[in-house]
Structure 1
Amino acid sequence: MTKNTTEKPPVSLLGLGAMGTALARAWLTAAHPLTVWNRTAARAEALGAEGAKVAGTAAGAVATSGLVVLCLLDDESVGATLDGVDLTGKDLVDLTTTTPAQARARAAWAERRGARYLDGGIMAVPPMIGVPEAGGYVFYSGSRELFERHREVLAVPVGTKYVGEDAGFAALHDVALLSAMYGMFAGAAHAFALIRREEIDPVAFAPLLADWLGAMAQGVHGTAARLKSGDYGKDVVSNLAMQVAGTPTFLATAEGQGVSPELIRPYFELMRRRLEAGGGEEDLTGVVDLLLR
């Protein structure tokens, strides 16, 4: 090892799927001493050839470094992998996709095992790892002191965003943003379905759709401000009454194009319910409250 390598904090990484492998290569490129482990040992061979130390067991990987990063299939895999492993004094950073409740429970579990815990929600795909200009990042929540201690190491593969002491907040931010993404994809799917049988080139249509979605996405700032103030009628441009009045046109167009309305009808129903509750002069913000149980 070079002097530069030995000066950098070591990392142990458990889990070498596509994301785990991308993380591993980023740390290796930055000359961090890296120990890796994967349940399917063959996946570690290439990283071993690239300079990583390959541990034969999860316990062996954990013992090698003070900082232990987990990038496994699910929360159950985390429990199974670390069952019986000595975690005393270790700093666990869990990048496994979980629910907020699972993250909070895992933080308490780690504390009982003598470890410190930080949860992470990855907002990136593997090709974005190690590419700063790609714009990916990881949400982190839990101990701020622990986050600050390892901030530089964690920022090597991808950017970092700390979102609070509550260990569940990283997972909550992750799922909230991804839920919005799937809602956007649902709208885009409906739009493409409407033109699917026409002589309209979807490739030519795509920039129009992307630009429109980008422009409309700015509306989230107004929604956030209204939710915070509680005034859903402030600075409304297109009120709910007007928008509900227009929904039959969208449904009739879908019918005429032979397209199922199943992706948009539920949202229209929420709009109608909010209107009937007296929200006609509001914008669409009140729909948020209808989703709360």
Structure 2
Amino acid sequence: MTDNAPAPSTTPTPTATPTPAPLTLLGTGAMGTALARAWLAAGHPLTVWNRTPARAEPLAAEGATVAASAADAVAANQLVVVCLLDDASVGEALDGADLSGRDLVNLTTGTAAQGRSRAAWAEARGARFLDAGIMAVPPMIGDAASGAYVFYSGSPELFEEHGETLAVPAGTRYVGADPGFAALHDVALLSAMNGMFAGVLHAFALIRREDIAPTDFAPLLVSWLGAMAPAAHQAAEQLASGDYGKDVVSNLAMQVAGNATLLATAEEQGVSAELLTPYTTLMERWLAAGHGDEDTTGMVELLDLRNR
């Protein structure tokens, strides 16, 4: 060999791009269709099934394979995602399907008890199971900037193995091995949202007959609710410590006294107070029990049916 001999090539060997994993989706309603399109857009081979076949056909034109039955769709892939109307629909769709060796992910809205029951049901049939709670509406699915995410709970091994695929339509948040936790997180957040919407509706009702434009009032409402939302952190700390008097700013006695003005204003404006009175009544009960110097967080004790 001479000094002029060419040096050995150091060009790296190209790394093969992983092939997107195949999966099955049962249910092509508004949410199911949005999920399907996100997976198809990302290159995942997708088999779909819907009780009404015509609703699945548009996805065939986008590359999905439409199965003739739920059992056929389940047989097509290891990962099976279910997005149906309710828990009963899940049982009906999967009745007779061979779930042995399958990974079943249930995106159907349900309760914590239904998630736990469905997990036991799936595991008895040889499947690993994840329950889920979707924190999004269909237009948010597949849009990384939308903030959409899905709670998952159940088999940690299943979540670890299929996490990348599940993250394609929306962000993922694994909340524990208890299959009921995803639904519980979902419903807890939705319940808080409903309470907020009740307050928003009452606020608009108060100004509705006045010369106050709702569109002018809305930014004030959004700003105020945003400023108040961090109070949830203080409530969490009080609940964790069991000290409902910790770091109190406006105690219960003061807030109950202030409620009189809220109710009187509603009456003056000709607005029903029915969205407020359940909460104000609860405050009065907790005050009567001797908790005037505390925060309102302690009222959680009155909501616990086991304390009655």
TM-score, with structure 2 as normaliser = 0.93
SS in 2 for 1:133: coil
Q: Matches of 1:191 and 1:6 in 2, distance apart?
A: 53
Query: Which of the two has higher C-alpha Rg?
Result: 2
Q: Matches of 2:301 and 2:103 in 1, distance apart?
A: 39
Letter in 2 for 1:282: E
Structure 2 residue 184 is matched with structure 1 residue 176: no
1:251 aligned partner: 263
- Out of 55, 61, 79, the residue aligned to residue 73 of structure 2 is 61
1:214 aligned partner: 226
Letter in 2 for 1:222: Q
Q: Matches of 1:262 and 1:8 in 2, distance apart?
A: 52
2:169 aligned partner: 157
Q: Matches of 1:283 and 1:253 in 2, distance apart?
A: 24
SS in 2 for 1:213: helix
Q: Matches of 1:7 and 1:230 in 2, distance apart?
A: 51
Give how far 1:285 is off: 0.3
Give how far 1:288 is off: 1.3
Q: Matches of 2:42 and 2:70 in 1, distance apart?
A: 23
Quick one: percent identity of the two aligned structures? 71
SS in 2 for 1:132: coil
Q: Matches of 2:204 and 2:67 in 1, distance apart?
A: 49
Q: Matches of 2:173 and 2:72 in 1, distance apart?
A: 30
- Out of 142, 153, 158, the residue aligned to residue 146 of structure 1 is 158
Structure 2 residue 32 is matched with structure 1 residue 16: no
1:166 aligned partner: 178
Give how far 1:5 is off: 9.5
Letter in 2 for 1:191: A
Letter in 2 for 1:290: L
Letter in 2 for 1:55: A
2:214 aligned partner: 202
Q: Matches of 1:259 and 1:201 in 2, distance apart?
A: 17
* Aligned residue pairs, count: 290
Does structure 2 retain, via aligned residues, the 8 Å contact 1:5–1:32?
no
Within-5 A mapping of 1:66-215:
66-215=78-227
Structure 2: any 5+ residue segments left out of the alignment? 1-15
Give how far 1:6 is off: 8.3
Structure 1: any 5+ residue segments left out of the alignment? none
TM-score, with structure 1 as normaliser = 0.97
SS in 2 for 1:285: helix
Q: Matches of 2:158 and 2:267 in 1, distance apart?
A: 55
Give how far 1:7 is off: 1.9
Letter in 1 for 2:252: L
Q: Matches of 2:279 and 2:98 in 1, distance apart?
A: 50
Give how far 1:213 is off: 0.6
Structure 2 residue 291 is matched with structure 1 residue 279: yes
Give how far 1:101 is off: 0.4
Q: Matches of 2:91 and 2:188 in 1, distance apart?
A: 25
